[in-house]
Homo-oligomer: A and B are copies of this chain.
Amino acid sequence: MNQTEISVKIILDRWDASIKNLTSLLENLSDAALMKEIVPGKNRGIYLIGHLIAVHDDMLRLLDMGEKQYPELYEPFIKTPDNVNTAMPSLIDLRKMCIEQTNYLKQKFDKLSAIEWFDKHTAVTSDEFKTEPHRNKLNIIVTRTSHLQYHLGQLQLLK
């Protein structure tokens, strides 16, 4: 393995392990627990789950891997802060989406070669990318893993 391949492996391994932690947490948290606020006045578990699925769904666009699977999640879980009056999919549906999404993203990610992860993501222009070559697809995985870990730390408190 060269440095390019090693870097991609390190970063994707961390993503995979974080997603595995999310899957396992979801298996161990009841619907009742997920309907509770992590801390009084802060987000509920259900909101964080929907938020994570919505943010990961948006990675498809950023990574130039096609259309979102669940565009309907943008409004309740990204645009709007958590609110008991917001219409949301049920936890049965969110749990299903989360598993489907994990498999779908994995299939998409597996298709990229190591060097292709260093291509620009779609939120940067070709001109910007000339002077900022770190704004690549791999960087999207790094920042989204970071974001996922942040919310995993919070979801863990519901156990």
A residues whose Cβ falls under 8 Å from a Cβ of B: 1, 3-4, 6-7, 9-11, 13-14, 18, 38-39, 42, 115, 118, 133-134, 136, 138-139, 142-143, 145-147, 149-154, 156-157
Given contacts A7-B138, A13-B134, A14-B146, 15 further A-B contacts (CB under 8 A): A3-B7, A4-B4, A4-B7, A6-B136, A9-B134, A10-B11, A18-B146, A146-B149, A149-B149, A149-B150, A150-B153, A151-B153, A153-B153, A154-B154, A154-B156
Min CB distance A86 to B, Å, is: 21
Q: Which B residues touch A39, using CB under 8 A?
A: 38-39, 157
Main secondary structure of the interface of A (DSSP, over half): helix
Are A11 and B142 within 8 A (Cβ)?
A: yes
29 contacts between A and B (CB under 8 A): A3-B3, A3-B115, A3-B118, A4-B4, A4-B7, A6-B134, A6-B136, A7-B7, A9-B134, A10-B134, A10-B136, A10-B138, A10-B142, A11-B11, A13-B134, A14-B146, A38-B157, A39-B39, A42-B157, A145-B146, A149-B153, A150-B150, A150-B153, A150-B156, A152-B153, A153-B154, A154-B156, A154-B157, A157-B157
Q: Which B residues touch A157, using CB under 8 A?
A: 38-39, 42, 154, 157
Q: Which B residues touch A118, using CB under 8 A?
A: 3, 6
Q: Which B residues touch A9, using CB under 8 A?
A: 134
Q: Which B residues touch A150, using CB under 8 A?
A: 149-150, 152-153, 156
